[in-house]
Structure 1
């Protein structure tokens, strides 16, 4: 009974618990020591791969930029060529209109104030000034010019101005 008593005594139990705890600590330390050390995620191969990728990006950046710039330039030139083709078509249409005698007569009447033999031509100031005052001839001429109406002057002056305007590039 004394052996049984030793078995259940506090000192014996504490000793047993201490031994068990020490064994657990020893096992945990030995496991930790047996485990291989953690390796860094950045290995030599990964570093070389990153270096190769960066050098490829740097090497391809300039040619890619040139390619994009050239594609933009090609698109601009195509747009300009299309605009020029449209302008040529418009000029062909205008040339065809000028081949028509009725159109030439209409333009001469509008631009040069031509009249047919036997007709009487009049130049009237546009309505809507609302002044009611009769100004001098110079003031009336100036008002007509500022509104875009043709100035009352000889037809040959208008013709010569048209030739001068056609001679200057627009």
Structure 2
């Protein structure tokens, strides 16, 4: 009895047809999946833009209120309207000159801040150079 080949002509043709169909569907399926991801990303972006639009519309509505400008000026700029009595509360232990002098004493002079930023740029790490090293060298390289 003759042994039949395991792969007949019909099976080979069927395998080629199945492979051709799979290859012809691979690109459209990949594009479909990519388009679905793109649509999901765009919908998320649309939701963010819509939320921002609603926040801006709410702010616009708030700003259009005639009392908003007055209230904001009083809160932020300490504005005092005509005929109103306004008070400024200061610290009882310090005069304005002492407070200004104290704030000025806490800050280093401008040239020190400038020099520290130059040293930080020189190290290349955005950090202050070590204080024990000599940073300025003379012409001989010492």
TM-score range, shorter chain: 0.5 to 0.7
Q: 1:120 aligns with which of 78, 87, 111?
A: 87
Quick one: distance in 1 between partners of 2:30 and 2:21?
Answer: 14
Shift of 1:140: 6.3
Question: What's the Cα RMSD here?
Answer: 2.8
TM-score (norm 2): 0.56
Q: Point out where structure 1 has 5 or more consecutive residues left out of the alignment.
A: 1-35, 125-134, 143-170
Shift of 1:101: 3.1
Aligned partner of 1:54 in structure 2 is 19
Distance 1:40 1:53, change over 3 A: same
Matching of residue 90 in structure 1 with residue 55 in structure 2? yes
Partner-residue secondary structure (3-state), 1:136: helix
More RCO (CA 8 Å, sep 6+): 1
Equivalent residue pairs, number: 98
Aligned partner of 1:39 in structure 2 is 4
Aligned partner of 1:108 in structure 2 is 73
Q: 1:136 aligns with which of 86, 99, 102?
A: 102
Greater Rg, structure 1 or structure 2?
1
Q: Point out where structure 2 has 5 or more consecutive residues left out of the alignment.
A: 92-100, 109-142
1:16-67, CA deviations, whole angstroms, 9 ceiling, x for partnerless residues? xxxxxxxxxxxxxxxxxxxx22313221111111111112211211121111
Shift of 1:93: 0.8
Structure with greater proportional helix content: 1
Distance 1:78 1:86, change over 3 A: same
